[in-house]
Amino acid sequence: MSCCEPSTPVDAAQIRPQAGIPSLDEMLEISRELGGGMMQSDVVVDDVHCGGCIRTIEKGLSALDKIDSVRLNLSTGWLSVKWKRENIDPKLLFSTLKQLGYSAHLAQDQPSDKDPVLRELMIALGVAGFAAANIMLLSVSVWSGAEDATRDLFHWISALLAIPAVGIAGRPFFRPAFKALKAGRLNMDVPISLAVVLALLMSIYETANHGENAYFDASVTLLFFLLIGRTLDHIMRARARGAVKTLLQMMPRGAIVTGKDGAKDYVRLEAIEPGMKITVPLGERIPVDGRIISGTSDFDCSIVNGESAPLTVSVGGHLRAGVMNLSGPVEIEAIATSSNSFIAEIQTMMEAAETGKQKYRRIADRAAAIYAPAVHLLALFTFIGWMVMGFGWHEAAYAAVAVLIITCPCALGLAVPIVQVVAAGKLFSDGIMVKDGVALEKLADVDYAVFDKTGTLTSGMPQLNGEREYDAKIMQIAVSMASFSHHPYSRALVEQGHDNGIDLVKLDDVNEVPGSGIIAKFGGDEYRLGRSDWALSNADKAKAGVVLSRAGKLLELFEFQDQLRPAAASSINALKTMGIEAEILSGDQEANVAKIASELGDVVYSFGVTPAQKAERLQSLASQGHKTLMVGDGINDAPALASAHVSIAPASAADVGRNASDMIFLRDSLDAVPRAVGVSRMAKTLIQQNFGLAIAYNMIAVPLAVFGYATPLIAALAMSSSSILVTLNALRLKFANPGGGAREIAPRTLKSRKSSGRAPQQSTLKPEQGA
């Protein structure tokens, strides 16, 4: 049984309603549509302190038929529940949580205080510190030789200070312990509360019977040190995810919306709907994703792309939520709700990154399953052992109290979650979003990297070769077909057509074939725009570039120029220094792929590769024992992204590509890839170190407590220190620079796949001619 696991399974039929349960409408209002009839509801659970709490809540709620999945974030207390719309039942959810021993409230109903938990901890810490200092002064008088009535007087004065102090300062421990016991389970606060109460009761008994020794100073000082540890832990966990918290605090709470009658009203952020016209003044942030319909201004887009230089956006330009308006008022049309905008997407991915069930997290959960009963049994055996050895019940109880405190599994419970939180925050500050915490574990094991070319290694913004002149009628058809695609080459054609004032023509039966091109009918003829091996008849397949064909015959050849992403060469080199070989798989022509590969250095490549062949190559690498990272951006990369051991896509990727990937990097620079690998590897090392610290602590501390070498005060210091040490070790990642700092390198001699001769880099693919 886990330290926070219910002794009996939750029976939905036995659940009784509780006060404060939100209505169905309130629950639906804060829930997000996930597609396929699924919705996600977020609530905040109070008094979550350890991995056992996570296990209890997730296991208890997952047993309910109406709930599909649950995920609890230790650092924030946010509980994400996924269920079908028709199954949403706030009464069932909140009553089950109460039966498990936890109270909760809707995520949007959090208290107005900036941090009520920290406020309570600081008050408790102040009370405990004041009482401990004064009781220690009284204890000095007793230790100095006070006897009989004088000693009893000092003891009773100490009792008058200690009893209310313990009642107030102990609330952060007593409340969750009481809830746990009421629910028929154990958690880490139960042995702490038991130890404090035992020390206080022993002291009252001694004082009432005119005993020489009282432990009022021990019980209050014990609480003082425990509160120091919990307060520091709370502060450091909050700092670990401070980037997202700061981001959310900067977001506006609402916006000025212009109605159909022209009247302007202030609308709460949650009430903004797509289609609403929003006025964004100078100095304000964009509240939701939108499109400018009036005005031009400079915007600070660093939140999106990491670039400090302002970006000028005019009518028709799209803006992400969180972007800062720098130079003038604009009016935008909302294209998403706040729950579906860029900031919400970031927050959702951060929550997922912090709560993924890594291998080490599962190990910690299994250890927690036997920890609590073992602690209480060990304390009982210690008490019995001391009594059998002939010591008095005072000494035996004193040793048992020390065991209860020193064996608290705080360090073990924090070993994995705190590293996950810090790693997710570190990657976020580097412009990298993690969709699942398990991806960090997978990325740490990567030994091979496969890159798409267009839009991944390159900027994805190719330009049509301006040295040639194209027939106006042919350009009109090509631009019209390209307007149906988001492929970088298609966007370049559309941009060129817009610059030249080309009008679009009406096409019929338009269809985009991933990895090949666009097919459409015009004037009764079939036109194809795309790869030559797909668009042209056999006689003309040797054309290199993007072609426009009619009935299989070449009409025009379009040539494009593209540039490498910033830090692309240095990023490939950084991966090699990490022992990760790189490879390029591209559907482009050999000349274009070879040019990019030569600029990157010693990189093997395959050209003319179809989406299916990319996926086959990933599967082949897996069969050879490689843990492969796939970096791609297009619809044609989605199968490969899904087939890889772990995958990363740029924010500019198609929706299918972003959905198929495990991570997303927001900035233009490709150094996000080695940075992500470096952070994941350091996170894995820190988790292993934290496990080692937790195990070493228990191997040293527990025998000392059992044999009486650690008093309850020393036990409190040791337990708090172990938690702080684990947290500080995790915070090293926040200030480190793993995988970063690589500089651009000069191109080296190119080795194509045919000429490299290196076994790990040889492929079963057969490069094809074509665009």
Residues labelled as active-site residues: 452
Dist. CA 518–CA 214, nearest whole Å: 86
415: closest CA among 367, 461, 377?
Answer: 367
| 216 close to 200: Cβ distance less than 8 angstroms | yes
Residues whose CB is less than 8 angstroms from the CB of residue 305 and which lie 6 or more positions away in sequence, other chains included: 431, 651, 666, 667, 668
Q: How many CB atoms lie within 10 A of CB 32?
A: 16
Dist. CA 675–CA 629, nearest whole Å: 13
Helical H runs in 654-740?
655-660, 672-706, 712-735
3: closest CA among 410, 354, 575, 496?
Answer: 410
In terms of DSSP bridges, do strands 663-665 and 646-650 run parallel, antiparallel, or are they unpaired?
parallel
In the chain, the amino acid numbered 172 is: P
How many distinct helices (H) and strands (E) make up the chain? 27, 28
107: closest CA among 70, 85, 81?
Answer: 81
Which backbone phi and psi does 554 adopt, to 5 degrees? Answer: -70, 130
Which backbone phi and psi does 31 adopt, to 5 degrees? Answer: -90, 155
Give me the torsion for CA of 615, 620, 625, 626, rounded to 10°: -50
Q: How many CB atoms lie within 10 A of CB 450?
A: 25
Dist. CA 489–CA 486, nearest whole Å: 8
Which contiguous run of DSSP H or E holds residue 290?
Answer: strand 290-294
Dist. CA 279–CA 255, nearest whole Å: 7
600: closest CA among 680, 677, 673, 681?
Answer: 673
Residues whose CB is less than 8 angstroms from the CB of residue 475 and which lie 6 or more positions away in sequence, other chains included: 496, 497, 500, 502, 556
What sign has the CA pseudo-torsion 281, 254, 667, 462? negative
| 627 close to 645: Cβ distance less than 8 angstroms | yes
Q: Which two tokens stand for residue 771?
A: 């665009």
CA-based radius of gyration for the chain: 32
Dist. CA 636–CA 622, nearest whole Å: 20
What sign has the CA pseudo-torsion 308, 309, 314, 316? negative
Residues whose CB is less than 8 angstroms from the CB of residue 13 and which lie 6 or more positions away in sequence, other chains included: none
454: closest CA among 612, 561, 536?
Answer: 561
Which contiguous run of DSSP H or E holds residue 159?
Answer: helix 148-169
Greatest pairwise CA separation for the chain in angstroms: 114
Three-state SS string over 345-398 comes to HHHHHHHHHHHCCCHHHHHHHHHHHHHHHHHHHHHHHHHHHHHHCCCCHHHHHH
What sign has the CA pseudo-torsion 281, 283, 287, 292? positive
In the chain, the amino acid numbered 162 is: A
